[in-house]
Amino acid sequence: MEYFAGEYDVAVIGAGHAGIEAALAAARLNVKTIVFTINLDWIGLLACNPSIGGTSKGHLVREIDALGGEMGKAADKTLIQSRMLNTGKGPAVRSLRAQIDRVLYTKYMKLALESQKNLDLMQAEITELKKEKSGLYRLKTKLECVYTAKCVIIATGTFLGGKNYIGEVVFDSGPDGMFPSIELSKSIKDLNISLRRFKTGTPPRINADSVDFSQLEEQRGDENITPFSFGTKEKLKNYASCHITYTNENTKQIILDNLNRSPLYSHKIEGIGTRYCPSIEDKIVRFSEKERHQVFIEPCGLDTKELYLQGLSSSLPVDVQKDILKSVKGLENARVMRHAYAIEYDCTNPMCLKPTLEFLDFEGLYGAGQFNGSSGYEEAAAQGLIAGINAARKVQNKKDVILPRSSSYIGTLIDDLVTKGCMDPYRMMTSRSEYRLILRQDNADLRLTETGYNLGLVSEKRLLAVKEKEKAIKREIKRAKKTAIPPSHELNELLISRGTAPLETGAKLFELIKRPQLDYECLLPFDKERPDLPPEVIEQAEIEIKYEGYIKRQQADIAEAARLEKKRLPDDIDYKSITGLRLEAAEKLSKIRPSSVGQASRISGVSPADISVILIYLRKR
């Protein structure tokens, strides 16, 4: 017998990385929220790699933090080892990555949800989702408890219709042996929301005592750690090292000899896999010319012997997995604690969503995370944050929040998903942003803290601190333009040693810093008037000075893009009736229903000529 359990403003299905940020954002914006999870003990489960951040993903985490999200704080509190990636390259592509204690991360996020005002946390499997005539959504659990909500956010991760593959063995399961969500898939389809199958996978986990570390390359963390959260002020430290080994020709032959036993190549797996994180058997086939592939050996926590073997993701049978490990240097005697598996799951086509992540045809229903076709914890958390913000604002009858591509990697991620779609699990990369020199991870606070404050997710104290930092950067750049550095024997020796021309007359500090070979640190002995400034102020001033011309060029591009983004497209446009608009463009525009001319211009199949026709139509209208 059904039991009515309560009415909420916002209900979130799933407490993974998307669901956590969605639920916290909605509750912090003062709407009555509930979040459902199949198991309370695995909230924020790091089901695959026990890490946060990475190339471009570190950008997302710092943007989430600047907007008032939780992921960056949790990562700082639970890190095992931290490194800044791509330090040999320009600042646009540098990204933070931290190994995380997966159990501590779950505990941190569980407590964050439990402690949040306006938020109820419930262990329950949602089996049915319906839209009632009243406009409310009806959610029923496996225990036949019924809840209603004004808005619902689907953040089901890889649980929705989850199926595991290990060689010839196939069974219904979520990640890490958790219960899958099977009945909800049917209920979502009954709403006439189309679902498709994607696939991801994990490598084996092994016992550290069975590894010969003397044969491995050690990978230490950074001595001076940059936190993910701009609010983290205490000095962070590393607690463990990671290691690297490699596959070899023997490994390759073992895999090729057993390809017929891989569900990936026997076509048992229907789902489309990740393009940028393939299984080891897929790498061996696709990159057959390579003699070896890297294997990163990473700790899963501080109070466990379990190690994660990044690079050995597989769906091969367990006996083949054992032979593969035996063939790898340092892993000859490895004892497996968890076998590798592939997981297939249901997700929607994100092109049926608005840039707010609300469904085009279902008011008050939102998607976030892997349900939207993305991959990765960070991509999921970013979407969850925006979905939670917009669901809360819909309940409060406030204006939607859409982050433009020019504002953030979060804006780029969502725009890519809802405008261009994805044929395989979407992964964020720095190359996806045309404004990456401005959208750096180091300036995420300067770009987005005020937005977070205006939304109600960031405190006034934090905003004022960012404003003061911004003023300090401007003062320092102004000082650098005025400060003259006289020529000297010592200075010229430094310049020559660094491969740049010596001075015959004095030069402004600003001009010296512009030289690629020089920086603030090496010029310190000659800069007698430098004030005592925080490292982050010096960092920002140096980047702004060195890349001044390129930054101005990108700012001009952003201004032009903003002009098109401001031209809104009404929901009731009949594109097929617009004279001069090509048939293909009319069909694409009718399907995606872009919110602005800027978004329309990024749709595949819509040409500049079509945009001109739309602009003329808008002027007449």
- For the entire predicted model, the pTM comes to 0.94
Instruction: Note whether residue 558 is domain-resident.
Output: no
| H or E, element range at 63 | helix 57-66
612 lies in some domain: yes
Whether residues 140 and 178 share a domain: the answer is yes
Strands (E), 14-166: 33-37, 51-53, 79-85, 95-100, 119-123, 126-131, 137-141, 145-154, 163-166
Structure tokens at 3: 């039991």
Residue 429 in domain: yes
Q: Same structural domain for residues 376 and 492?
A: no
Phi–psi pair at 424, nearest 5 degrees: -145, 170
For 19-31, what is each residue's pLDDT tens digit?
A: 999 999 999 999 9
Strands 33-37 and 3-13, bridge-based pairing: parallel
In whole angstroms, give the CA distance from residue 512 to residue 515. 6
- Looking at the fold, whether 478 and 442 belong to one and the same domain comes out as no
Q: 99 and 155 in one domain? A: yes
pLDDT at residue 255 above 90? Answer: yes
Single residue among 282, 315, 341 that ends a domain in this structure: 341
Mean pLDDT score across all residues of the chain: 95
Domain end point (choices 310, 341, 372): 341
Same domain for 172 and 244, yes or no, is no
Q: Which among 520, 518, 479 is positioned nearest to 499, based on CA atoms?
A: 518
| Digit-coded pLDDT (tens) for 498-556 | 999 999 998 999 999 999 999 999 999 999 888 999 999 999 999 999 999 999 999 99
Q: Say if CB 613 and CB 581 are below 8 A apart.
A: yes
Return the HEC string of 137-149.
EEEEECCCEEEEE
Residue 498 belongs to what domain range?
463-553
Q: What is the CATH number of the domain that holds 595?
A: 1.10.150.570
Share of the chain above pLDDT 70, in %: 100
pLDDT in tens, 368-385: 999 999 999 999 999 999
End residue of a domain, out of 455, 471, 506 = 455
Residues 602 and 537 in one domain: no
Give the Cβ contact number of residue 90 at 10 Å.
14
Q: Is residue 20 part of a domain?
A: yes
Residue 481 lies in a domain: yes
The mean pLDDT value for 296-307 works out to 97
Q: Which residues contact 146 (CB under 8 A, 6 or more apart)?
A: 2, 3, 4, 5, 138, 139, 140
pLDDT of residue 604: 84
Q: How confident is the model at residue 419 (pLDDT cuts 50, 70, 90)?
A: very high
Do residue 31 and residue 178 come from a single domain?
A: yes
488 domain-assigned: yes
The answer to whether residue 169 scores a pLDDT higher than 90 is: yes
Give residue 571's pLDDT. 83
Residue 455 structure tokens: 């939304």
CATH code, 305: 2.40.30.260
Select the more confidently predicted residue: 556 or 151.
151
CATH number at residue 410: 3.50.50.60
Residue 566 is predicted with a pLDDT of 85
Check residue 498 and give its pLDDT: 94
Q: Are residues 571 and 608 in the same domain?
A: yes
Are residues 274 and 378 part of one domain? Answer: no
262 and 334 part of one domain: yes
The CATH number given to whatever domain includes residue 473 is 1.10.10.1800
Q: Is residue 562 one of the residues assigned to a domain?
A: no
Residue with structure tokens 């002995």?
A: 525
In a domain, 561, yes or no: no
Give the pLDDT confidence of 547-587 residue by residue, as tens digits: 999 999 999 988 888 888 888 898 889 999 898 898 888 98
Q: Are residues 402 and 327 in the same domain?
A: no
Per the structure, how many domains does the chain have? 4
- If asked whether residues 233 and 265 sit together in one domain, one would say yes
